[in-house]
Structure 1
Amino acid sequence: MFSSDIKIHIHGTSFTIHTPSGKINISLPFLGYQNISNVLAATALSFSLKIPLKKIKNGLLATPILSGRLELIELKPHKILINDTYNSNVSSMISAIQVLDKMPGYKILVSGDMSELGKKSVLYHKIIGNTVNLYKIDEILTIGQISYEISKISNNGKHFLDHRQLNKYLKKIFFNKNKITILIKGSRNTRMEKVVEYLIKESKKHVNFVV
């Protein structure tokens, strides 16, 4: 249980952690409410062990970022990728949508299939399609046999038959928007990390990209 004397205020990826001994101002590339809870828990535990605030801050700064788990990648000013391709299920998809909703600029959700959901797989994908309509997301792009159910139900959905078509579309829109956040998600067998790798490569190649 967290100490009631320790509170956290969130400003994007920056945090102000208030303790009885002072406050810690820190910027961390962690997204998602579960990571905020982890930051608060780690601070509360360290504070209870009488660890100085400076050491607590240094410890938080040294926390490794797990690739593919709501990993924030800023390719260019105001052009952000969120790599959440480690895996995908209903709960993690909803969490990712909530994160994207709070991000700046033109917002795109890119989703591959959610695997291993059993006989209700189509239903679960339809639930995600309805869920995404509750948030301020500009486009929902899908690829895969079942993810079509997401884009079909969502208000701003578009389905792609292969990665080549998807990459071409994303490349055009990514470099033509002044401010944009793209969240890429899918189960491991959908290889959505290849989309992340493609956009990173193209960003490095095209310093002043014009379509």
Structure 2
Amino acid sequence: MPAPPLWSSDEIARAVGGVATAEFFARGVTFDSREVGPGDLFVALSGEATDGHRFLDQAFAQGAAGALVSRDEARASVRVADTFAALEDLGRAARARTEARIIGVTGSVGKTSAKEALFACLDRGVPGEAHRSVKSYNNHTGVPLSLARMPAAARYGVFEMGMNHPGELAHLTTLVRPHVAIVTAIAPAHTEFFPDESAIADAKGEIFAGLEPGGVAIIPYDSPHRDRLIAAATPYAGRIVTFGTDRNADVRPLETMRVPTGGTFVTAKLPGSELSFTIAQPGAHWVSNALAVLAAVEAVGADLGLAGLALAEMGGLQGRGARFIAKLLGGEALVIDESYNANPASMAATLAVLAHEPGRHVALLGEMRELGEKSADYHAALAEPILAANVEAALLVGEAMAPLATALEGRVDFVHVRDTAAALDHLAMIAPGDAVLVKGSNGVGLARVVASLAGGKI
């Protein structure tokens, strides 16, 4: 039996205060004309770079059921004064009509991985009845879009919320109105826009202001900013749950053991139970993610046993830990794809994962962006985790990597290039039997390197 429509034109018009030109039923929502599929509502957003109204013909040609517009449109549509405001209103309406338990996730690192793990854990118990943000739709347009896509009958909703300026999360959390709010970690990220890490912690702590009455705040106990986050949560949370490796954390590992496949076996203590499970993904950062995820699973009353099974089955995410074998002349190499994003904490965490892999260790590292006046220091400091991971060859991409190149001089064989196009000319440095980590800020474009390696083009 097909799923019911997500929205009718009348429901959309009521939610956004618009006028429908014709009756239609939407089965999906998107503002990217390239993603429009049959039955979708296309939201024609107008921005500085482009205007979605230019792509209406394309959207309808691809099967859009209707459009949300701010100008005259003869085809099936809902006319409003401002399509961005209308998208937010549609998100609010989706949140208002659902009885789902809602979880909001933020943090300097790990938020997308935690969001995907949470979805896997919840979906394992009620297949098809859990909803989450897709990709990294975590900003001022992505969050309302993700809300607007949530079916009315969903049992759970998991929403990632990001920010790079103070005040952004304060607004997004009022749209999501979570029953449970998680901060995964506080680390140097977007420091170009913040004076110090305490300011980052304050901005992340804004998520708690949107908690529903009696909601649960989940906070990293091991963070030096723990007390600051607890102070931010206290006025809004009915309960605060901490997670971490410290014995005083509410959710903590009693035992951890690396398994032959590279993951970790964990016995965890939670406020209401103990659970033994295996995390498929390698690395101490994944243990931390899993503890936060299980705290949220218990907080919403979902099945912890099934959540443990989901964590054991969960594969790596594209750009965030996915692994594949690259075919080379004369053999193969393991590639760890962490190309989507990077900051000092995530660089150190993934280099620590590389350290455990057999074979020669090769690091293809792109510059870390939005680090402000301390960027040179942060890049130079990567030398220590690189050396600790026994990296024998490195390819450094981007002008901001110059301080790291200086720090590695005479200690590691490396090549420093200006951009990804130049990096593609140096992939012959990878040899059969190597373990290769590819990581950098998304804007560097190392996904092109990953694609080249996956296509056997070296």
TM bin (shorter chain): 0.7 to 0.9
Question: What SS does the corresponding residue of 1:202 show, helix, strand or coil?
Answer: coil
Match of 1:169 among 426, 434, 443: 426
| Residue among 2, 6, 10 paired with 2:258 | 10
Deviation at 1:89, TM superposition (A): 1.2
Structure 2 contact 360–435 (Cα < 8 Å) conserved: yes
Shift of 1:112: 1.4
Q: Return the letter of the residue paired with 2:442.
A: R
Partner of 1:185: 439
Aligned residue for 2:323? Answer: 72
CA RMSD of aligned residues (A): 3.3
- Which residue is 1:112 aligned to? 366
Aligned pairs for 1:144-155 (under 5 A) are 144-154=398-408, 155=411
* CA deviation vs aligned residue, 1:154-178 (integer Å, no higher than 9, x gap): 12222124434422322x233x32x
Answer 1 or 2: higher relative contact order, Cα 8 Å, separation at least 6: 1
Amino acid at match of 1:128: L
Matching residue of 1:38: 289
- Say whether 1:159 aligns with 2:424: no
Within 2, Cα distance between the matches of 1:52 and 1:164? 46
Contact kept, 8 Å, 1:31 with 1:72, in 2: the verdict is no
SS of the residue 2:400 aligns to: coil
Query: d(CA) in 2 for partners of 1:134 and 1:64?
Result: 26
Q: Aligned residues, how many?
A: 197
Aligned to 1:122: 376
Q: Per-residue deviation at 1:129?
A: 2.7
Cα distance, 1:73–1:51 mapped onto 2, change above 3 Å = same
The alpha-carbon deviation at position 153 of structure 1 amounts to 1.6
* Range that drifts further, 109-118 or 68-77: 68-77
Q: Is the 8 A contact 2:405 2:416 kept in 1?
A: yes
The answer for unaligned runs of 5 or more in structure 1 is 207-211
Once the 2 structures are TM-superposed, how far is the Cα of residue 186 of structure 1 from its aligned partner?
1.1
Aligned partner of 1:209 in structure 2 is none
8 Å contact kept, 1:113–1:143: yes
Give the 3 Å change call, closer, same or farther, for CA 131–37 of structure 1 in structure 2: closer
**Post-superposition offset of 1:22:** 9.4
CA deviation string 1:58-90 (max 9, x = no partner): 322454643212332233686211111221111
Distance 2:368 2:425 in 1: 23
Change (3 A) 1:159 1:52: closer
Residues 164 and 45 of structure 1: CA distance in aligned 2, closer, same or farther (over 3 Å): closer
Q: What are the Cα deviations for residues 191-210 of structure 1, in whole angstroms up to 9, with x where unaligned? A: 1111111111126xx8xxxx
Contact 1:7 1:40 in 2 (8 A): no
Rate the CA distance shift 1:35–1:161 in 2: closer, same or farther, 3 A: same
1:126 Cα deviation after fit: 1.3
Q: Judging changes above 3 Å, is the alpha-carbon distance between structure 1 residues 57 and 120 closer, same or farther for their aligned structure 2 residues?
A: closer
Q: Compared with structure 1, are the counterparts of its residues 118 and 56 closer, same or farther at alpha carbon in structure 2 (3 Å cutoff)?
A: closer
The Cα offsets for residues 94-152 of structure 1, whole Å up to 9 and x where unpaired, read as 11221112221111111111111111211221111344234311012112111122123
Tell me the amino acid that sits aligned with residue 282 of structure 2.
L
TM-score (norm 2): 0.38
- Say which is worse superposed, 123-132 or 184-193, in terms of deviation: 123-132
Q: Is the 8 A contact 1:122 1:146 kept in 2?
A: yes
Residue number in structure 1 paired with 2:240: none
Is the CA contact 1:129–1:152 (under 8 Å) kept in the aligned structure 2? no
Q: Which moved more, 1:13-22 or 1:77-86?
A: 13-22
Q: Where do 5+ consecutive residues of structure 2 fail to align? A: 1-249
Shift of 1:56: 4.5
The residue type equivalent to 2:258 in the other structure is I
User: Out of 192, 195, 199, which is 2:449 matched to?
Assistant: 195
Q: Which one has the largest radius of gyration?
A: 2
